[in-house]
Amino acid sequence: PAQWRWLARWLAECSPDRYRRNRARMQRIARLGRDALRELRATTGIDDSVRRGYLMLFRSEAEVELNEPGRAMLDEQGIGYRLLDAAATRALEPALSRDAPLAGGLHLPDDESADCQRFCQLLAERAVARGVEFRHGVEIVAIRRDGNRVRGLIHARRRLAEPNTIDVDSVVICAGNGSVALLSKLGIRVPIYPVKGYSATIDAGPRTASAAGAAPRLPSMAVMDEAYKTALTPLGSRLRVAGTAEFGGPKLKLRESALATLRRVADDWFGPGIDFSKARYWVGARPMTPDGPPLLGRTAIDGLLINIGHGSTGWTMSCGCARVVAALASGDDPEIDLDGLTLARLSAAGR
């Protein structure tokens, strides 16, 4: 039932006007996120091997035509891009297989890609050095409040003798799909559903002399197969292939047909030189709202803030969302207009 309710809401958002509105809201927070991320890199010295540029690949002229509304949005938002034919796309990204079914590409020169896991690990190290405390392995099961004020976190005891609460002045709920249950206990209903995605990470470094074939050429930037909505991102000597959007409940299990799609896309664009025999596969559940934008900011409960529902663009928006929530938690005004990014959006939609 939860899945069907979410899908009904999602279908209601599938019109040109709502698409434009929702994309504009996401773009607002993404721009702040980009600027905040660059500032964070500069001030902390984090090196996450950032690469500039992003290239969307079209297999057919029909895909180029279907992308036209997206390009119109880019024009409205003042985002630079180049629409390339097949020859220009190959010239920009020579690692593409000559046999790839290529009709053209859309190049976004100001976009960036990097290793988000490495970034988070390095950021955590710097946070600890500045006095932040991480409590790993602590399962938060509920939020304790006194009247309409947050007072603490209730966690599952690991030892019978230890107290099961942590006193707090305020709390930010940013627990992905787990946020739904935590908030529902406080009477706050949010339409977030886990939409599963898969990835394969391949070591594309030099092969041994005994290995058959040459090592594959990695792309110089992240590329996106528009037909299969699958991204191929170089991470040092590795290639990460990630995509799909799958419904069917919270259980996480590697499904062979989804992994086969990742392999097919990689093979189409970068040829049979990619060796999947030692690929590391992963499946995860993206916390998605039916209309796309995340839900940020204060709630009706004093001291309780949210930062949830980022879907498949979590890192794109992460630093921007953090800046917004940090400002609100400190009693300051956020740097951007939050219209359409808070819980008020659900009330306005009759939800």
Secondary structure element (H or E) that encloses residue 194, with its range: strand 193-203
The Cα-based distances of 339 to 292, 302, 344 in angstroms read 14, 20, 8
pLDDT of residue 209: 38
Helix segments in 13-167, DSSP class H: 16-44, 61-66, 68-77, 86-92, 116-129
Phi, psi torsion values for 199, nearest 5 degrees? -145, 155
Burial of residue 128, with CB atoms counted within 10 A of its CB: 0-12 exposed, 13-18 middle, 19 or more buried: exposed
Q: Which residue has the tokens 């939409």?
A: 195
Cα distance from N-terminal residue to C-terminal residue, the chain: 16
- The amino acid at 343: L
Residues paired with 76 in a beta bridge:
none
Q: Which residue has the tokens 């969307």?
A: 56
Sheet with 171-173: strands ordered across: 171-173, 304-308, 295-298
Helix (H, G, I), strand (E, B) or coil at 272: coil
- The residue among 277, 332, 343, 270 whose CA lies nearest residue 306 is 343
pLDDT of residue 349: 64
Q: To the nearest 10°, the Cα dihedral for 65, 71, 76, 81?
A: -150
Q: Which residue has the tokens 């599952």?
A: 156
> What is the tally of helices (H) and strands (E) in the chain?
10, 14
pTM, entire model: 0.89
Q: What is the pLDDT along the chain (351 residues), one digit of tens a residue?
A: 888 999 999 999 999 899 889 999 999 999 999 999 999 999 999 987 889 999 999 999 999 999 998 899 899 889 999 999 999 999 999 999 998 899 999 999 999 999 988 999 999 999 999 999 999 989 999 999 999 999 999 999 777 667 789 999 999 999 999 999 999 999 999 999 999 999 999 987 654 334 455 556 789 999 999 999 999 999 988 999 999 888 876 788 999 999 999 999 999 999 777 888 889 999 999 999 999 999 999 999 999 999 999 998 999 999 999 999 999 999 999 999 999 999 999 986 654
pLDDT of residue 210: 40
Burial of residue 37, with CB atoms counted within 10 A of its CB: 0-12 exposed, 13-18 middle, 19 or more buried: buried
Q: Show the CA angle centred on residue 280, arms to residues 222 and 255, nearest 5°.
A: 95
Contact 321, 307 (CB under 8 A): yes
pLDDT of residue 215: 57
- The residue among 46, 83, 51 whose CA lies nearest residue 239 is 51
DSSP state of 236: T
